[in-house]
Amino acid sequence: MKREIKFSLVFRDMWQSAGKYIPRVDQLVRVAPAIIEMGCFERVETNGGGFEQVNLLFGENPNRAVREWTKPFNDAGIQTHMLDRALNGLRMSPVPDDVRRLFYKVKKAQGTDIARTFCGLNDVRNIAPSITYAKEAGMISQCSLSITHSPIHTIDYYTRMALELIRLGADEICIKDMAGIGRPYSLGRIVEGIKTKHPEIPVQYHSHAGPGFNVASILAVCAAGCDYIDVGMEPLSWGTGHADLLTVQAMLKDAGYKVPNINMEAYMRVRSMIQEFMDDFLGLYISPKNRLMNSLLIAPGLPGGMMGSLMSDLEKNLESINKNNLKNNRPLMTEDQLLIKLFEEVAYVWPRVGYPPLVTPFSQYVKNLAMMNVMQLEKGKERWSMIADDIWDMILGKAGRLPGKLAPEIIEKAKEEGRAFFEGNPQDNYPDALDKYRKLMNGKHWETGDDDEELFEYAMHPAQYEAYRSGKAKVEFLADVAKRKTAQNKPDQPQPPVAAATPPTLPQPSYPLPATPQRMNVDVNGEQYSVTISFGEDTAVTEPVRSVAEKPLPPPTPPLPTATTTGGGQELLSPLEGKFFLVKNASDTPLKVGDTVSEGDILCYIEAMKTYNAVRAEAGGKITAILASPGDTVSEDDLLMTIQ
């Protein structure tokens, strides 16, 4: 009998690799006992990454969600682990140092045992503080090697990085093969290099199934000394997800390893609940293509977690391209054609921006940059003409040191825009901010929560937190679910009012909601409906949130204006579809009507594909009108402001 191999269920990542959302907290609490009863998991991934942000989008309190979700596993003696993005914490952009330190204190208090930290650039300087903060909080520090395949990312590169992390105090190493493109032989050699020097350090392997390497890779890393294997389970294994528990167990058992038995009765209950959650509403956000293996993913190397949201983004971008094609009497593009163009552009962009490992957020940055290039080229504009500020921070070194060299065309672009490269410690670019957010919360009469967990959430996700506290997040979420259910039920027929699609039942939350019903307009296949969302007032009782539909509005609500003239003033048009914000951070001061701006000033942001895209003034003047409100969804070419 060979060594024992232990399993970890990556329950959070299973969902986020398939689609946009994860189950609500009431669903998580229902499935946890059955996962425990399966008897085969030493560890379960319970939170981290985008988990808390998804809760906010639901209108749920993410701190309550983590506490309730981790508790059953804590009680059963199963370790819980979270995903931590080092300098970026739980979000797509860098986080101040004091917010990072609070992060670990909060998550340990909420029941999370292991912090799996990775840097999207493999910059050890970004990971080092997380090791210290995790240990201060009493957590196990598991540090990750973000695996990709390039001329730079060699066996020696990764082995040296792992040994450096162990020297800095890492308790464990994770081989994070986020795109599943690590080659089995090379991965085995990396694990062998770690175990030869440090046989006492546990190694955990995380991979995605997409390109087809990962079952062979699991066998290779186990032969080299790996201790834990991350697995998924049906109906969310394979595709852009992970290797299936049953397959991995059978394969390793046949190879002579000691592996845990599986309570199949409990397995079937978990499997049924996952399908039930998908049928409820989560399946509305899962593209069928994400359930397929695809060897086309070998070349672009895009991670499974990102592919979950990519297909949704693709639909919006395709619509934008085809609007332009119709306007110019050009043939319409298909989704497959756009996907191939995107993959080809990723292959073009990636080496030119220094080979950042394709993991969050840098996989999104490279993909977004490639997508923007495709869209601009399709519209007859220049490549590199739209680069978001967060992407510039990566290029300039503000987020960490790039593994490779920048192409001359990128360096020249930076010089043209007067952008300076940064060589120092990335954390120095992001000063402490907790005092600012504490002051903001005091001004709003908001409690900072147990262990300052609400303060942490506000500082980590300011825009989403404000939408959750106001009730806007829940209104928009329920309306979107209702719209999707209606369209799914009768895709080829005139659509009935939105409320004909029953919205999901949500538990009564423990945070303030609007006292009066919230009314909003919803577009369903071009028809406008008025929807009223009412919120229960008795927080001691679990009440469903109900959607009450009324007659269609006559006439339909018009889109944001796209006027061609404003009396000679400058028209600021949205460069792409997304959500409009005047500022990125709640502590920033937004512009207002009457303010004077100069050419090149940032006027607002469009949040699209998880990044904030700055919209700048093309000429100076005075703002005479702001035609969108923060959080509004805008289309490409919508009029946002006028400047005289």
Report if residue 513 sits inside a domain.
no
pLDDT of 548 higher than 60: no
Give residue 562's pLDDT band: very low, low, confident or very high (50, 70, 90): very low
- Which residues are within 8 A (CB) of 176 and not within 5 positions of it... i.e. 6 or more apart? 116, 118, 144, 145, 146, 147, 206, 359
pLDDT of residue 498: 37
171 three-state secondary structure:
coil
**Which range scores top for mean pLDDT: 381-390, 445-454, 538-547, 610-619?**
445-454
pTM of the model: 0.77
24 three-state secondary structure:
coil
Element (H, E) at 174: strand 172-177
Q: Higher-confidence residue: 316 or 14?
A: 14
DSSP for 240-302 reads TSB-BHHHHHHHHHHTT-B-----HHHHHHHHHHHHHHHHHTGGGGB-GGGGS--GGGGTT--
**Which range scores top for mean pLDDT: 314-318, 442-446, 484-488?**
442-446
Element (H, E) at 377: helix 362-378
Inter-CA distances, 35 with 69, 207, 492, 494, 610, Å: 12, 21, 39, 42, 31
**Which range scores top for mean pLDDT: 165-174, 325-334, 560-569?**
165-174
Residue range 529-550: average pLDDT? Answer: 40
From the list 14, 17, 20, the residue with the least C-alpha distance to 316 is: 20
Q: Which bin fits 257, alpha (ψ -120 to 50), beta or left (φ > 0)?
A: beta
The crossing angle, in degrees rounded to 10, of helices 184-197 and 214-224 is: 20
Phi–psi pair at 347, nearest 5 degrees: -60, -30
The C-alpha atoms of residue 624 and residue 497 are separated, in whole angstroms, by 38
Report if residue 418 sits inside a domain.
no
529 three-state secondary structure:
strand
Give residue 508's pLDDT band: very low, low, confident or very high (50, 70, 90): very low
Q: Go through the chain and tell me how many residues it has.
A: 644
pLDDT of residue 303: 61
| 334 in Cβ contact with 383 (< 8 Å) | no
Residue range 347-372: average pLDDT? Answer: 88
Report if residue 388 sits inside a domain.
no
Phi–psi pair at 412, nearest 5 degrees: -65, -40
**Which range scores top for mean pLDDT: 57-61, 485-489, 533-537?**
57-61
**Which range scores top for mean pLDDT: 4-8, 311-315, 400-404?**
4-8
pLDDT of residue 463: 87
pLDDT of residue 230: 98
DSSP for 379-443 reads TT--TTS---HHHHHHHHTTT---SSPBPHHHHHHHHHTTPPP--S-GGGGS---HHHHHHHHHH
pLDDT of residue 324: 80
pLDDT of residue 565: 37
Say which range, 166-180, 329-343, 397-411, 450-464, has the weakest mean pLDDT: 329-343
Give residue 542's pLDDT band: very low, low, confident or very high (50, 70, 90): very low
Element (H, E) at 117: strand 114-117
- Which residues are within 8 A (CB) of 328 and not within 5 positions of it... i.e. 6 or more apart? none
Residue range 459-465: average pLDDT? Answer: 92
88 three-state secondary structure:
helix
Report if residue 574 sits inside a domain.
yes
Report if residue 591 sits inside a domain.
yes
What is the pLDDT of the chain when averaged over all its residues?
Answer: 85
The neighbour count for residue 629, using CB atoms within 10 Å, is 9
Residue range 66-70: average pLDDT? Answer: 96
Give tens-digit pLDDT for 96-148: 999 999 999 999 999 999 999 999 899 999 999 999 999 999 999 999 999 99
Residue range 429-438: average pLDDT? Answer: 95
Residue range 620-636: average pLDDT? Answer: 88
Give residue 359's pLDDT band: very low, low, confident or very high (50, 70, 90): confident
pLDDT of 86 higher than 70: yes
pLDDT of residue 445: 96
pLDDT of residue 396: 95
pLDDT of 5 higher than 50: yes
Amino acid identity, position 480: D
pLDDT of residue 496: 42
Inter-CA distances, 282 with 31, 285, 460, 481, 643, Å: 15, 6, 25, 9, 43
Count structural domains, the chain. 1
| 221 in Cβ contact with 193 (< 8 Å) | no
Q: Higher-confidence residue: 277 or 537?
A: 277
The neighbour count for residue 3, using CB atoms within 10 Å, is 12
Give residue 313's pLDDT band: very low, low, confident or very high (50, 70, 90): low
pLDDT of 499 higher than 60: no
Give residue 595's pLDDT band: very low, low, confident or very high (50, 70, 90): very high
Q: Higher-confidence residue: 37 or 631?
A: 37
pLDDT of 363 higher than 50: yes
| 160 in Cβ contact with 190 (< 8 Å) | no
Report if residue 375 sits inside a domain.
no
Give tens-digit pLDDT for 187-244: 999 999 999 999 999 999 999 998 899 999 999 999 999 999 999 999 999 988 999 9
Q: Domain of 579: which CATH number?
A: 2.40.50.100
488 exposure class (CB count in 10 Å sphere: 0-12, 13-18, 19+): exposed
Of the chain, the percentage scoring pLDDT greater than 90 comes to 55
Report if residue 368 sits inside a domain.
no
Structural domain including 625 reads 570-643
The C-alpha atoms of residue 332 and residue 479 are separated, in whole angstroms, by 30
The C-alpha atoms of residue 531 and residue 69 are separated, in whole angstroms, by 32
Report if residue 609 sits inside a domain.
yes
pLDDT of residue 588: 80
pLDDT of residue 386: 83
Residue range 544-549: average pLDDT? Answer: 37
| 71 in Cβ contact with 27 (< 8 Å) | no
- Exposure on the CB side of residue 104, measured as CA atoms within 13 A: 26
